[in-house]
Structure 1
Amino acid sequence: MKPVATTFAALCALSALNIPCYADPLAASDPEQNPASSSADSMHLGVGLAYVPEYAGGKKSRVVPLPIFERTFSNGFFISSTRGLGYQMAKDNLQLSAALSYGGARADHKRNIFEGSDALKGMGDIDGAAQAVFNASYRFDAISVSLGTTQNLGQRSHGNTYTLGSSLQLMNTASDQLGLGISAEYGDHKHVQTYFGVTPRQSMYSGYNTFLTKAGFTSVGAAVNWNHVIDKQWSVHTVAGFRTLTGDAADSPLSKRRTAPLLMTGLIYSF
């Protein structure tokens, strides 16, 4: 069995929050435990819950459902609720992947218990869009390093992000795999202004002071990633960590809380 190593990429895809995706840094560092690096056909289905902020910098957090689906093929292609539609390859300790995904939406009012925040009233909605996601990682024994980028295709004005991460394998047994990951996200000027800036027009409607931003690091984060194997088909994956805003993202009038907890757990069936 190759237990699935579902990560915070799921939060980005399913909760429509502008939260950095710690897909590579927080995944189990052993390729045998990470479907992203598996060359065999596999299917993973599951359901879980995530506890996340209403938006990046939001004061309140909420619980959102987390459906999980991933189908990987031996030729390298995959389709996933967390990673989108893409292709992956591995050469020795080097892993590369490219995918087409969707994300980046933000509502300026609370539409339901899963979406939007009234703290953003007057800021205007941010539409979701197609995104190209590229990742590269290299493994040094129990430690791996990764570099990724999300390029906005459908809404070029929303900008792009770049993520640098590292993970450390803490434990690897037949029943339990434990890892520690850290990650930092850099946003270009368009991205930081879109999600953390306040234009004069937005200031007039929202009441927030005008806040113009520049490119820079927007956040750092860390998490513990635990996968528990129940039997040949079933496993439970849990991630517990935090995210701290930095730079203009932390100084934005929209940011009510610089550091927020991020929790996720899911029951997964693999075959």
Structure 2
Amino acid sequence: MKRQMLIIFFSLAYVAASAAESDLLSSPSASLRPANAPQEAEIGGIVGVVPGYFGAQKLSLVASPYVEANFGNGAFVGASGIGYRSPNYGSFSVAASLGAGRSRLESAGNADTHNRLTGMGDVTPRAQANLFANYDNGPYHAYVLLQRELGNRDGAEGQLVGMFDAVSTKTDLVQLYAGIDYANQAQMQTFFGVTASQSSTSGNAVYTPGAGVAGSSVGSIWRHAFSQHWVGTLEVGVISLSGGAADSPLTARKTNGLAVVSSGYRF
């Protein structure tokens, strides 16, 4: 769960939208750039201080490489996988991709006192289908993202994100965002539920959450071009769990902050 959010995000899960015209600095996520944007690839690294998992007691330092590529014909490769974004129909467009779903390790629950994930088992990643519906009108952006795991877990999520371009120039893009996340019962059970078997090995009380709004997020992203090729991105935000996710015995903190910085080479 954490890694999905971090790379997007990506956090976010994870929180980005198409920025502007070809002569302005583009969004860090290739999947959300306009389909007719100039061909561009970016390779770099990310370092972040993020929750060990959604609901973790402590923040963790994580690092990973990343690749974002837009091929100028709507096809893209990035944090959300391999996909295609349609041309704009007025202010609207759609996109689809195939990538990896969320995961969680028992070790992500490390805490000063009690690791609530001990005995819960690892949540392994699954292939995941992603569908986007995008709205872009000047500095205002919004998108709906539907995610469906492929396999035997049946997890599904829906995210609604709004974003405003506070600054958009050739060298700087500052975006403010807010979003909410809805998860079906299978997804809530996977990441916030405790089965009878898991209860016996972990000591956590049996818990069966229902479908509902799992949380919300607010934050900002600052993207800066140091030169024609080198760019950096800084994201700071707050994630708040709600409903069945907030009430889970696995949740030590309902609200957590995050800070993620990346640097990449564009070509």
TM-score of the superposed pair, with normalisation by structure 1: 0.86
Match of 2:252 among 256, 259, 262: 256
Give the equivalent residue in structure 2 for 1:220.
216
Amino acid of the residue matched to residue 98 of structure 2? L
Deviation of 1:176 after TM superposition, in Å, equals: 1.4
DSSP-derived class of the 2:107 partner: coil
CA distance in 1, matches of 2:214, 2:21: 29
Distance in structure 2 (CA, Å) of the matches to 1:18 and 1:268: 16
Partner of 2:196: 200
Total equivalences in the alignment:
254
> 1:221/1:237 Cα in 2 relative to 1: closer, same or farther (>3 Å)?
same
1:141-180 Cα deviation digits (max 9, x unpaired)? 221121011100034x251000011001111122211110
Give the structure 2 partner of residue 130 of structure 1.
127
List aligned pairs for 1:29-68, cutoff 5 A: 29-30=19-20, 32=22, 33-34=26-27, 35=30, 36-38=32-34, 39=36, 40-68=38-66
Q: Which segments of 5 or more consecutive residues in structure 1 lack a partner in the other structure?
A: 1-8
- In structure 2, the CA distance between the partners of 1:197 and 1:241, relative to structure 1 (3 Å rule), is same
The residue that corresponds to 1:191 in the other structure is 187
- Trace 1:102-121 onto structure 2 (pairs within 5 A): 102-109=100-107, 118-121=115-118
TM-superposed deviation, 1:93: 2.2
Indicate conservation of the 8 Å contact 1:188/1:214, yes or no. yes
Shift of 1:31: 5.2
Deviation of 1:13 (Å)? 7.3
Task: Give the TM-score normalised by the residue count of structure 2.
Answer: 0.87
Q: 1:3 matched to which residue of 2?
A: none
Match of 2:205 in 1: 209
Please give the secondary structure, in 2, of the residue aligned with 1:67.
Answer: strand
Residue 226 of structure 2 corresponds to 230
Distance 1:238 1:130 in 2: 28
Q: State the identity as a percent.
A: 28
What root-mean-square deviation, in Å, do the aligned CA atoms of Structure 1 and Structure 2 show? Answer: 2.5
Q: Tell me the secondary structure at the aligned position of residue 106 of structure 1.
A: coil
Match of 1:179 in 2: 175
Q: 1:69 to 1:262 in 2, by over 3 A?
A: same
Q: Which has the higher contact order (CA 8 A, sep 6+)?
A: 1
1:142 maps to a residue whose letter is: P
Alpha carbons 1:182, 1:220 under 8 Å: kept: yes
The answer to whether the aligner puts 1:21 opposite 2:13 as a matched pair is: yes
AA at the equivalent of 1:109: S
